[in-house]
Structure 1
Amino acid sequence: MRPTRAAMLLAATALTPALLLTAPAFAADGSTSTTPVVTTPATACPDVSAGTGTPTDGLTDDQVRAAVEDILTDADAGTGVLREANKALSGTAQDMRDFLDTGCRLAQAEDDSVAVAHVLAVATQNGDKRVAKTANAALDAGTPEALRAFLQTGYARAQAEDDSVAVAHILFVATQNGDKRVIAEANSVLDAGTADALSSFRWTGYRLAQAEDDSVYIVRMLTDPHISDAMYDAIQAVLDDGSPEALRHFRTVGQYEIDN
């Protein structure tokens, strides 16, 4: 076992309760966590990071107006940017220049702050500690640069770390429960180690793999020679339903509510 895998499994073990029947993103009642936010940082404002002067240097008033109007039609423009762009268009030529030179960047930071706060809320709900930590750091800094850096690069890196821990936890739980399909897929994903593979398994693949293992577990219950009629009927009903949520609920909760 590679050291990195061992470290992740060690972290996952600390998260695991005594009753090893559930794992991240798929609760015992069949519910799921909220899929992490997919961010598309707004890019409507002029970029002057690599140049000197201001965005409106050398532009005529007509060109300045056209630039503001272009921002209003930009699909990536956020609520704050659109609000301030409309204000600028309702003002003087200097108002429009001020918006392009400084106001747009500040309004974009406002939109970025809202986006980071949304990421933080979802990460907190999902227990994604690394994302929550880096999002809080960006919000505490509060600068346009810190907010933008988190949305453009920091968030993806942090989410991949949290997904790694979650998948390792899923693997640990599946190993205790003997869930062969989940074990095989979790190991494959951890071996691949890519952000896309980790995210896809955590939020989609795991649910389907767990359903296969739950189905096998429930079918084996039918081999019990002492099974009651009520349990037999309940098993047939859940197998006829066949949904991952129904299978998971029956295995972790429903079977214990039926007289055997």
Structure 2
Amino acid sequence: MRPTRAALLIAATALTPALLFTAPAFATDASPATTSVTSTTPVTTTPATACPAVPSDAGTPVDEMTEDELRAAIQDILADENAGKGVLREANEALGGTVDAMRAFLETGCRTAQAEDDTVSVVRILNVATQNGDKRVIQEANDLLDARTPEALRTFLETGYALAQAEDDSVAIVRILGVATKNGDKRVIREVNETLDANTPEALSYFRWTGYRLAQAEDDSVYIVRMLTDPNISDAMYDAIQAVLDDGSPEALRQFRTVGQYEIDG
């Protein structure tokens, strides 16, 4: 039983009638979900350096650190390859300043700078999610940017974003399943079901942004080859089919199946 999938399918069907159309020749072919062609792969977040705990991880409170210990703590932050621009800027300024400046950076300045970097990351996520129509990510990103709470920004980047993106990926994949079922696209149907059975963020993301394109290309190729069996096929259509099969790219196959075949005279 797949109650979650059934609920998603009902919702997706209600939301996406505009994605479907009836093709005028050879088959009734619902238009594809647009994920693999027109959307932008979501941002992969590597959150900027987490500022050291206060008191420090070494067990010495920041206000009791020596100058050398303060410098070492800041240099550890600078050494992190995931440190954001704001953190790097403020850390370097602190190193060039007084002992009090270094202490202030570790106690408060680092977190303020990190919140700046995290905000930039969330804005980037929001821009991509808007392009893709990923409603859950959009909602959560907007909520975070309204609140601007450092702790909430960090939690979203570390865990919340992956969960929200997985939810949007699930909805997109169920839509793909609905269209593939109408079109009888066997490879897509099989891979969607396997992906939904796995139901991990990694599996959902892989199928939406990589696997779907390849599975759809296989089904498109089968569909186009079958067109050659039409006894009334025109010379122009035959030549166009041969050309697209010679090309063989997922994009060329998709364009021919959904658009190009209907532009061939005769």
TM tier, shorter chain? over 0.9
State the Cα distance separating 1:44 from its structure 2 match.
4.5
The 4+ residue runs of structure 1 with deviation greater than 3 A are: 48-51
Letter in 2 for 1:94: D
Residue 148 (structure 1) aligned to one of 145, 151, 154 = 154
Letter in 2 for 1:230: A
What is the rounded CA distance, in whole Å, between the counterparts of 1:66 and 1:81 in structure 2?
Answer: 15
Residue 24 (structure 1) aligned to one of 17, 25, 34 = 34
CA contact (8 A) 1:16 1:173 kept: no
1:15 aligns with 2:16: yes
* Unpaired segments ≥5 residues, structure 2: 22-29
Letter in 1 for 2:16: L
What is the rounded CA distance, in whole Å, between the counterparts of 1:147 and 1:209 in structure 2?
Answer: 36
What is the rounded CA distance, in whole Å, between the counterparts of 1:203 and 1:136 in structure 2?
Answer: 24
Structure 2 residue matching 1:45: 3-state secondary structure: coil
TM-score (norm 1): 0.93
What is the rounded CA distance, in whole Å, between the counterparts of 2:76 and 2:122 in structure 1?
Answer: 25
TM-score (norm 2): 0.91
CA contact (8 A) 2:134 2:165 kept: yes
State the Cα distance separating 1:43 from its structure 2 match.
2.3
Partner of 1:160: 166
What is the rounded CA distance, in whole Å, between the counterparts of 1:175 and 1:197 in structure 2?
Answer: 20
Alignment of 1:33-182 (within 5 A): 33-48=39-54, 55-182=61-188
* Unpaired segments ≥5 residues, structure 1: none
What is the rounded CA distance, in whole Å, between the counterparts of 1:92 and 1:49 in structure 2?
Answer: 20
State the Cα distance separating 1:90 from its structure 2 match.
1.9
What is the rounded CA distance, in whole Å, between the counterparts of 1:149 and 1:48 in structure 2?
Answer: 18
* Length, aligned pairs only: 255
1:247 aligns with 2:257: no
What is the rounded CA distance, in whole Å, between the counterparts of 1:125 and 1:169 in structure 2?
Answer: 17
CA contact (8 A) 1:171 1:182 kept: yes
Partner of 1:256: 262
Structure 2 residue matching 1:57: 3-state secondary structure: helix
Deviations 1:177-222 (A, max 9, x none): 1111111111111122111111111111110110010001000110
CA contact (8 A) 1:8 1:168 kept: yes
Deviations 1:217-247 (A, max 9, x none): 0001101111111110000000011010000
What is the rounded CA distance, in whole Å, between the counterparts of 1:172 and 1:49 in structure 2?
Answer: 54
CA contact (8 A) 2:63 2:103 kept: no
Higher mean C-alpha deviation, range 138-147 or range 108-117: 138-147
CA contact (8 A) 1:16 1:169 kept: no
% identical aligned pairs: 72
Higher mean C-alpha deviation, range 13-22 or range 78-87: 13-22
State the Cα distance separating 1:140 from its structure 2 match.
1.1
State the Cα distance separating 1:104 from its structure 2 match.
0.5
CA contact (8 A) 2:54 2:62 kept: no
State the Cα distance separating 1:130 from its structure 2 match.
0.4
CA contact (8 A) 1:81 1:108 kept: yes
Higher mean C-alpha deviation, range 72-81 or range 122-131: 72-81
1:233 aligns with 2:239: yes
Q: CA RMSD in A?
A: 1.8
